[in-house]
């Protein structure tokens, strides 16, 4: 499986935008880029996904580089409730294991008031 590289941790101030980077230089042309986050003492939750074009939803925006070797999750105004571990995951469209997700270590986002 193609791997992703994320910083171990990042800090942000409350109500400021946050850009969480992810490198995936070995991404294949059909891999989708998924982001999940895990709040303390909870299971991971889906944030957003994309293939080539930038994507927006109520939680965040996903900016995908033109060569698809990197992507950035954007939280437009961080709140204290956004403090979590954010996982960037590549998901093949139809892998033999049936579309499981392989998690890396993620980025721990700390939000300061």
Partner 1 sequence: EAGVAQSPRYKIIEKRQSVAFWCNPISGHATLYWYQQILGQGPKLLIQFQNNGVVDDSQLPKDRFSAERLKGVDSTLKIQPAKLEDSAVYLCASRGQGLNSPLHFGNGTRLTVT
Interface with partner 1 (CB under 8 A):
32, 34, 36, 41-46, 49, 85, 87, 91, 93-94, 97-106
Nearer Cβ to partner 1, position 77 or 94? Answer: 94
DSSP string, 31-92: PEEEEEEE-TTS--EEEEEESSS-EE-SS-EEEE-TTSSEEEEEESS--GGG-EEEEEEEE-
Nearer Cβ to partner 1, position 58 or 113? Answer: 58
**Spatial separation of the C-alpha atoms in residues 99 and 5, rounded to whole Å:** 20
**Spatial separation of the C-alpha atoms in residues 75 and 13, rounded to whole Å:** 12
Minimum distance from residue 16 beta carbon to partner 1 (Å): 26
Nearer Cβ to partner 1, position 13 or 57? Answer: 57
Minimum distance from residue 11 beta carbon to partner 1 (Å): 18
Nearer Cβ to partner 1, position 51 or 77? Answer: 51
Minimum distance from residue 49 beta carbon to partner 1 (Å): 6
């Amino acid at each position: 499986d193609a791997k992703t590289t994320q910083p171990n941790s990042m800090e942000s101030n409350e109500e400021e935008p946050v850009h969480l980077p992810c490198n995936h230089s070995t991404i294949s042309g059909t891999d989708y880029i998924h982001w999940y986050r895990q709040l303390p003492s909870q299971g991971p939750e889906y944030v957003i996904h994309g293939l080539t074009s930038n994507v927006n939803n109520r939680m965040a925006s996903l900016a995908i580089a033109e060569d698809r070797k990197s992507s950035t999750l954007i939280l437009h105004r961080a709140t204290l409730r956004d403090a979590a571990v954010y996982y960037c995951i590549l998901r093949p469209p139809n892998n033999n294991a049936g579309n499981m997700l392989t998690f890396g270590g993620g980025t721990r986002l700390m939000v300061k008031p």
